[in-house]
Amino acid sequence: MRRGVRWADVAMLSRRDFVGVATGAAVVALTGCAQAPSSAASTPEAGSTGAPASLADANTSDGSEEVRAVPTVFFTHAISPASLQMVFDALDVAPAGNVAVKLSTGEPGGHNFLSAELIGDFVRGLGATIVECNTAYGGARSTTESHLRAAAEHGFTQIANVDIMDAEGSLSLPVTGGSHLTEDLVGAHLGNYDYVVSLAHFKGHAMGGFGGAIKNCSIGIASREGKMLIHSAGASTTSWGNPEQDDFLESMAEAAKAVSDHFGGVGGNICYINVMNRLSVDCDCDSHPAEPEMADIGILASRDPTALDRACVDLVYAAPDGEALIERMESRHGAHTLEHAEAIGLGSQAYELVELDG
């Protein structure tokens, strides 16, 4: 089932009202593209739905409005090895060469990270290496030795080789169009890979509000010093700093764009999957995360990380039991990450949701 939204039609709806429409009867069916919203559409206040600038401001060289393709987000309610493979297959991509699957190995003590049972067949089918980077906080994954031990305890080394990419330091990737970062320091081994599949557990986050594709490919791929650089909004590679919240969120988007650009940009040799289960307000980096207060939602996939994360956020708002996670996202201004990602060219907040069930 194909569902889409023309943003000019819904600009005055609250996000909760909007997603009720978007996930119920479609406002307008899209067939891979959407017209730019009318310039008369007013800009809503924070916390409501607004027209993405990438659609509203598109013009051709002759002054006429440009029609831009809206990225597709594939969605299944089912959460199983078979449904994970199904959403990936819907992307119609063919990873080749040395393939990496980037996921969170999960802090020992936690229990919400993606299970090896769920992802094992998928990773093996790709012939991929599971990749991660060491944490910058004190914990059980802050050194390569302890991190590999945690990966083994959580079953990941039984399904694939696990590469802690910053075991031998950092690789500097340029950041273009950023407000805070000029470089992104990632695990040095990233340069060994030809294709990356971001396989993220979507959930809340104590600092970012939520974690999905953008966090997985920014802080998640950053080396220890690179994590500090993002958290400090470009100020330091040795301390967390004390930046404004929006500056930190923007730095995450900028780092994710550097990784995307390294693999050819949106639509290049990188794709994104978010699994919406065990929807705690806390991240998998937490050794004692809060129990989820809402039901599982499903699995989503896209070649556009911003569209994918926006679709997940919208589904949380549409859920009848999402209050706790909504509060976490809003209290950290988490949606600003997506606003900045779109502004710097890391995809679009507009999307077409394609349900694969039934």
Domain limits, the chain: 1-70, 76-355
pLDDT in tens, 128-144: 999 999 999 888 999 99
pLDDT at 288: 87
Of the listed ranges 25-34, 81-90, 220-229, 240-249, the least confidently predicted one is 25-34
Residue 277 pLDDT more than 70? Answer: yes
Question: At 25, which amino acid appears?
Answer: A
pLDDT value of residue 138 = 82
DSSP string for 142-187 = SSHHHHHHHHHHTTGGGTS-EEETTTT-EEEEE--S-SS-SEEEEE
Using the CB atoms, write b or e for 122-139: b if 16+ within 10 Å.
Answer: bbeebebbbbbbbbbeeb
Q: Which two tokens stand for residue 7?
A: 């943003």
Say how far residue 165 (Cα) sits from the centre of its chain. Answer: 19
Give the type of residue at 344: I
pLDDT of 68 reads 67
Domain 76-355, classified CATH 3.40.50, yes or no: yes
67 pLDDT tier (thresholds 50, 70, 90): low
Please give the Cα distance from 271 to 256 (Å, whole number): 12
Tokens at 117, concatenated: 């049972």
In the predicted model, is pLDDT for residue 299 greater than 80? yes
Confidence band for 284, pLDDT divided at 50, 70 and 90:
confident
Q: Output the pLDDT for position 49.
A: 34
Q: In the chain, how many H helices and how many E strands?
A: 12, 15
Residue 7 has pLDDT above 50, yes or no: no
Which tokens go with 35? 């017209």
Task: Write the single-letter amino acid at 221.
Answer: I
CA 237 to CA 239: how far, in whole Å? 6
**pLDDT tens, residue by residue, 181-195:** 999 999 999 999 999
pLDDT at residue 76 above 80? yes
* Long-range Cβ contact pairs of 288-294 (< 8 A, separation 24 or more): 288/109, 288/110, 289/110, 289/111, 289/112, 290/324, 292/112, 293/321, 293/323, 293/324, 293/325, 294/319, 294/321, 294/322, 294/324, 294/325
Measured in degrees and rounded to the nearest 5, phi and psi for residue 99 equal: -100, 135
As a whole number of angstroms, the distance between CA 105 and CA 280 comes to: 16
| Average pLDDT of the chain to the nearest whole number | 85
Q: Which one is predicted more confidently, 38 or 251?
A: 251
Tokens 């406002």 correspond to 27
Q: So what's the pLDDT on residue 80? A: 98
pLDDT higher than 90, residue 1: no
